[in-house]
Amino acid sequence: MVIARENAASVWSYPADVRVGARDLAGYRVEASDGRIGKIDSNYHTTGKAYLVLRTGSWISRASRIIPAGAVQRIDHTARKVHLQLTKKQIATAPHTDERQGPWR
């Protein structure tokens, strides 16, 4: 997964022009650079590490993927939609989380 950022540490931070604050993004629809991909299951903010848990697929083939905050291109809070600078293929190869064990940290 390649994210165009100035340094590797910043991949875990939201871009400066993306406003999240303490807002819960769960339920927001997610758009990859090449189309709709799923919904946000949860989002985490800790010092130096922010990421989204993205739920993709149908109820039969559902997968939860870990997406670093640096992949966010923009957020439309009115439409409850997050736009990523990743393709569907890049998202499909992102690390996954096992729902029984909780989110990757």
CATH, residue 51? 2.30.30.240
Q: Is residue 104 part of a domain?
A: no
86 Cβ contact partners less than 8 Å away, ≥ 6 residues apart: 1, 3, 32, 33, 67, 71, 94
Residue 85 included in any domain: yes
Query: Average of pLDDT values for 19-35?
Result: 92
Determine what percent of the chain is predicted with pLDDT higher than 90.
55
Count other C-beta atoms under 10 Å from residue 63's C-beta: 15
In-domain check, residue 60 = yes
pLDDT computed for residue 105 by the predictor:
45
Residue 92: count other Cβ atoms within 10 Å of its Cβ: 16
State residue 52's pLDDT score.
Answer: 95
- Position 98 in a domain: no
Does residue 101 lie within any of the structural domains? no
Indicate whether 1 belongs to any domain. Answer: no
8 Å CB contact between 64 and 97: yes
Residue-wise pLDDT for 83-104, tens only, equals 999 999 999 999 988 655 555 4
pLDDT band at 3 (very low <50, low <70, confident <90, very high): low
pTM: 0.82
Domain that holds residue 78: 8-92
**What is the tally of structural domains in the chain?**
1
Average pLDDT over residues 13-18: 88
User: Does 2 fall in a domain?
Assistant: no
Mean pLDDT of the chain: 85
Residue owning tokens 């999240």 = 20
